[in-house]
Amino acid sequence: MSLTVDHVSKVVGRDTHIHPTTLTLAAGSLNVLLGATLAGKTSLMRLMAGLDKPTTGRILWQGQDVTAKPVQERNVAMVYQQFINYPSLSVYENIASPLKIRGLPKKTIQAKVHEAAELLKLTPMLKRRPLELSGGQQQRCALARALVKEADLVLLDEPLANLDYKLREELRVELPRIFTASGAVFVYTTTEPTEALLLGGNTITLHQGQVTQMGNTLEVYRYPQTLTTAQVFSDPPLNTLSVTKQNQLLKTLKGQVLACPLALQTLPDAPYTLGFRPHHFTLQPSSPHDLAFHTQVTVVELSGSESFIHLKHEEERWVALVGGIHDFPLGSAITLYVAPEQVYCFNEQGKWMSPPSLAQAA
Amino acid sequence: MNKTWNNKAWWMVLPVVLLVAFSAVIPLMTVVNYSVQDTFGNNQFFWAGLQWFEEIVNSERFHDALIRQFIFSAVILAIEIPLGIFIAMNMPKKGWAVPVCLVLMSLPLLIPWNVVGTIWQIFGRVDIGLLGASMKALGIDYNYTQNIADAWITVVVMDVWHWTSLVALLCYAGLQSIPEAYYQAARIDGASTWAIFRYIQLPKMRGVLLIAVLLRFMDSFMIYTEPFVVTGGGPGNATTFLSIDLVKMAIGQFDLGPAAAFSIIYFLIILLLSWVFYTVMTHLDKQGQKS
């Protein structure tokens, strides 16, 4: 079983919500749609589900064209960011609702509902109404409804965004385990790069309605093929620096001159954009080859074990994530170091230029 | 905990006490004063005790008006609530049609009661009214001044025309607050239109529906101006509702004692019904928070 999105695009009025996209999602796979708000995650998901008709292209299910098939005939389950349950029905009736519509015998329904409730720890709440439950329980009820359906395609649209931190962690571990076991194609949208990394599986990065990259989550994280992908898949945001390579020197816009890292020396002379992940900055040089940047502190956020240091470097605003507590006074000048093998390099078109060997360290 | 006692705080309460006294308690007491006495001109008062109350409670005239009143309110609710829901569900959800629709719907609500009455009084006239004359031209024997059924139909249709948009607008607000995701989820489930109405829209509208029912019940129970302008309570006493009857008694016959007793009984009935509605509403609301 697999879902193929074949040159699908969605245009509403004059706005292109989804640029032509081709993707293949395998059965039993966990696919994370990662992108900022309004990047088109939900639009793409609705197209996959069949809630919206694509403007161009086809949706294939196991090679069969299902573009024209209405959503209720496709065996799709979807869970939303809001906790969507039938307000006047009990948890039991809610979970049973998709089975009742299908007209299964009462006993089968009962067995399936109890099984799903057990799995999602809802057994004691079966008689309650959704609004008598906590947020996490309401969402588990919605998840149970999706689960009993034994859908071929399970779409989770930021399902944990409205839950508190603790529950999120708990469900994040359980979810892939529960759903991938069913052999369904599993799609999960999130705005948080960390969530994508925690979930594993595949990641599809989206930016302004365009899929920028798809692949194994770690692979996409380590080898972002474009600057956009690297920016989408970085939290805190990726720090960038525009430079011009001349001979073996890198010149910043303000005229600062840096020694070109060894691995980039083979690149032709041209303007480039360098990218540094926030956690690759260090306050002490790890080797004499490290690039050094003189920066000014604008804000320091302490999270306890780590410090987010917001900085100004020339015209760019950067964030460095360093371990421990570093409470620098505002405006103080500090020097940051970054190892040359941890520098991402993108050409003027935003295409990844660093040799792959370098990225191993990322 | 040590409480500080400060009698100056009473001054804070005083404005409210005065306001309520002048706006409610004192006028009500004048009515009470009339209800237990008999007057014969020259401001001579004679103690009557509960005589007027007994007379009213036992009078057939009062019973008839009360029954008419309950029937009227029941008919109004039975028509306006389902019709309002139906209209709300068929109103446009977005686009230019929304403001147009909302303004059109609000128009009847902005027209003063007596103007509504006058409009319908003329509208229904057999000689010059559009409705009455058309009916006559179609060969339908319609005359609200002579036929009891016609009078009732006219008064009911007029109220439906005047107030259904209130119910519709309230329901529309309730419907608009349902997130789109509910409908999507139901579509994915393959739920029917009826199931979507029964299990999503109706439960989500319940709060506003309770308010609509309460408002329409209380309002129709106290209706005066429109039937008074259109039918004057007739033909005969066919559309004489409680408030019309009360005014006839007080101003027409100048029976101040019985009218005062009538007022108090009417007031108590409304108070009681309000209390019942309020209790039912808050009770259902508590259940609603659970459901």
ipTM score here? 0.72
Instruction: Return phi, psi of residue A198, to 5°.
Output: -70, -35
Band (pLDDT 50/70/90 cuts) for residue A176 is confident
Q: Smallest Cβ distance to B199: which of A72, A88, A98?
A: A88
Q: How many Å is the Cα radius of gyration of chain B?
A: 24
DSSP B124-167: T-TTT-HHHHHHHHTT----TTT-HHHHHHHHHHHHHHHHHHHH
Mutation for A interface: B182, B187, B188, most A CBs within 10 A: B188
Contact present, A185 and A153 (Cβ < 8 Å) = yes
> B161 pLDDT exceeds 90?
yes
The CB density around residue B22, as the number of other CB atoms within 10 Å, is: 10
**CA A116, CA A179: separation in Å to the nearest integer?**
11
**Domains, chain B, ranges and CATH?**
59-290 (1.10.3720.10)
The amino acid occupying position A43 is S
**pLDDT tens digit sequence for A49-108:** 888 889 998 888 888 888 888 888 888 888 988 888 888 889 999 999 888 888 889 999
Among B130, B117, B128, B126, residue whose Cα is nearest residue B158? B117
Q: Are the beta carbons of B188 and A76 separated by less than 8 Å?
A: yes
Identify the closest residue of chain A to B198 by CA–CA distance. A88
- Where are the domains positioned within chain A? 2-232, 239-359
Q: Are the beta carbons of A77 and B188 separated by less than 8 Å?
A: yes
Among residues of chain A, what percentage have pLDDT more than 90?
Answer: 16
**pLDDT tens digit sequence for B35-81:** 888 877 777 778 877 888 888 888 888 888 899 999 999 999 999 99
What is the number of residues in chain A?
Answer: 362
Class of domain A239-359: mainly beta
Q: Smallest Cβ distance to A80: which of B185, B190, B204?
A: B185
- pLDDT for res A361: 47
* B118 vs A165, higher pLDDT: B118
* In chain B, residues 204-223 whose CB comes closer than 8 Å to chain A: 204
- The two three-digit tokens of residue A278, written as one number: 């926030």
Contact present, A335 and A293 (Cβ < 8 Å) = yes
DSSP B36-69: TEEE-STT-EEE-TTHHHHHHHH-HHHHHHHHHH
Decide if B54 touches A, using CB distance below 8 A: no
Identify the closest residue of chain B to A52 by CA–CA distance. B184
Strand partners, A244: A251, A271
Q: Smallest Cβ distance to A88: which of B179, B184, B203?
A: B203
Looking at residues B89-111, what average pLDDT do you find?
A: 90
- The two three-digit tokens of residue A100, written as one number: 């009742």
Assigned CATH for A2-232:
3.40.50.300
* In chain A, residues 116-145 whose CB comes closer than 8 Å to chain B: 128-129, 131-132
